[in-house]
C-alpha cells in the first residue's frame, strides 16, 4: 500500500544540521534519535535550537498539525513529520506550520530519515506519493471551486493582471501595454491600481518587483 518516497533533487547541505526529536512515546523518541545519530551531518539538539524538528505522530489531521505551532522552535526551523496511521490534513495548513517532509513510520529507516532531514534543511520538499496525490487533488479543488469562478490564478492575481505586469516588466509604456492587450490606457491603469491596492503595494515598480520576486512573471 505504501510507496517509496520521491527522489530529492537539489543540493543537500554541507554544514551540520541541528536536529531535535519530538514524540509522545519516549521509546519512539529514543529510536528516532538513535537513527539520526548515524548521520555524519546531523547534530542532535533541543527544539529551541533546531534547524529541523523531527516529530512523530499517530495520525496527521488538521488538529494534530495545527498543534505543532506550539513547538518552541526557531521561526526558520523546518519540520519532518513521521506518521503512523494516515494523512488527513490540509497541505496548506501543513505548509504554514513548517512541515517540509513526511515519512510513513514503516519507511522511517535511518538512511531515509536522515535524507529527509537534510532535504528539509536545504529547503526541499519530500512527500510520499499518496500525500503528493492529495496535494494535487486539493490544488484542483481550489482551482475549480474558488479561483476559476473569480477569474484568479493560484497566485491570487488574474491572468489579465499577470499579463499587464509582464508587459510593464518588459519596459513597455502603459499606452503600449494597452495597445498590445487591446484595452484603453485608462483600463490598464485601473488593472494596475487594483493589483497595487489589493496587495498593499506602493506603486507600479513595487508591483512588478512583487511579481518577479514571487515568480509570477
- Domain range 17-128, CATH class: alpha beta
* The pLDDT value given to residue 77: 93
For residue 4, pLDDT over 80 is answered with no
Q: How do residues 137-146 score in pLDDT, each as one tens digit?
A: 666 555 565 5
CB of 49 within 8 A of CB of 18?
A: yes
Q: Of the candidates 42, 50, 41, 40, which has an alpha carbon nearest to the alpha carbon of residue 20?
A: 50
pLDDT number for residue 203: 93
Pairing of strands 42-44, 17-23: parallel
Domain boundaries for CATH 1.10.10.10 within the chain: 150-213
Q: Was domain 150-213 assigned CATH 3.10.310.30?
A: no
191, 160 Cβ separation under 8 angstroms: yes
What torsion do the CA atoms of 62, 32, 72, 75 make, to the nearest 10 degrees?
Answer: -80
Rounded to a whole number of angstroms, the distance between the first and last alpha carbons of the chain is 40
* Residue keyed to cell 513521521: 82
87-145 confidence digits (pLDDT tens): 888 877 888 889 999 999 988 899 999 999 999 998 888 877 666 556 556 665 555 65
Each residue's pLDDT tens digit, 12-34:
666 899 999 999 999 999 999 99
Q: Where in the chain is the domain with CATH 3.40.50.2300?
A: 17-128
Amino acid at each position: 500500500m505504501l510507496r517509496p518516497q520521491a527522489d530529492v533533487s537539489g543540493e543537500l547541505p554541507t554544514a551540520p544540521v541541528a536536529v531535535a526529536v519530538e514524540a509522545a512515546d519516549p521509546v519512539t523518541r529514543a529510536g528516532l534519535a538513535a537513527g539520526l545519530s548515524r548521520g555524519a551531518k546531523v547534530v542532535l539538539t533541543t527544539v529551541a535550537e533546531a534547524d529541523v524538528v523531527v516529530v512523530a505522530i499517530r495520525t496527521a489531521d488538521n488538529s494534530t498539525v495545527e498543534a505543532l505551532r506550539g513547538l518552541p522552535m526557531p521561526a526558520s526551523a523546518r519540520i519532518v513529520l513521521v506518521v503512523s496511521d494516515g494523512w488527513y490534513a490540509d497541505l496548506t495548513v501543513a505548509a504554514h506550520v513548517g512541515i517540509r517532509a513526511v515519512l510513513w513510520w514503516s519507511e522511517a529507516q535511518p538512511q531515509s530519515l536522515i535524507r529527509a532531514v537534510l532535504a528539509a534543511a536545504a529547503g526541499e520538499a519530500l512527500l510520499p506519493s499518496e500525500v503528493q496525490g492529495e496535494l494535487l487533488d486539493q490544488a484542483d479543488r481550489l482551482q475549480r471551486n474558488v479561483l476559476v469562478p473569480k477569474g484568479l490564478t493560484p497566485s491570487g492575481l488574474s491572468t489579465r493582471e499577470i499579463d499587464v505586469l509582464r508587459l510593464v516588466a518588459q519596459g513597455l509604456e502603459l499606452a503600449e501595454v494597452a495597445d498590445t492587450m487591446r484595452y484603453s490606457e485608462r483600463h490598464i491603469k485601473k488593472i494596475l491600481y487594483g493589483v497595487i491596492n489589493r496587495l498593499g503595494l506602493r506603486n507600479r515598480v513595487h508591483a512588478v518587483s512583487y511579481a518577479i520576486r514571487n515568480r509570477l512573471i
